Amino acid sequence: MEITVYREQPLAREARQLPAATYNLVHVLLARSPGTLFVPIRAMQYLAIVDAEEIVFVDYLNKSRVEIAWQAFRPQARDALDEPVPYDAVYYGGDSAGIMRRLQTEFLPALTALAAKEHLDGPARVLKFERPAR
């Protein structure tokens, strides 16, 4: 899948912390997929586009414009894998602060749903059953 998104000038930037469970699951899913990960957040009608450097969020109403970006993750700042990871949230839209509160809540369930999908390796097989005699 290929998606082109554009950024305007950032309106605000703030330091935040991402819960360890969310950060760790992002990296587990990135290891499964080559390059970029697309995470639909159905509860908000948003799409998260994840790569090794950042996570950007786009609204379904304006699919080509970045609303919020999570950047500059600093996992080395934590002492254990179960501690939150500091990062910078960059806001590009007017109501980004309100959206951000929901994203922190809805992103982990969306990642969990994506992780729960079973990936089948190899081609499918069709099983042939004999019809029972009457």
List the chain pLDDT tens, one digit each, 134 residues: 677 888 889 999 999 999 999 999 999 998 887 788 899 999 999 999 999 899 999 998 888 899 999 999 999 998 898 999 999 999 998 788 789 989 989 999 999 999 888 565 556 566 666 777 77
**Is the pTM value of this prediction over 0.85?**
no
Structural domain boundaries, residue 17: 12-116
Max Cα-Cα span within the chain: 75
Any domain includes 124 = no
Residue 70 lies in a domain: yes
Please indicate, yes or no, if residue 34 is contained in any of the structural domains: yes
Task: Establish if 79 belongs to a structural domain.
Answer: yes
Q: Count the domains in the chain.
A: 1
In a domain, 112, yes or no: yes
93 contacts: CB under 8 Å, gap ≥ 6 = 11, 65, 67, 68, 99
Q: Which tokens go with 45?
A: 């009608």
In a domain, 121, yes or no: no
Whether residue 63 is contained in a domain is answered as yes
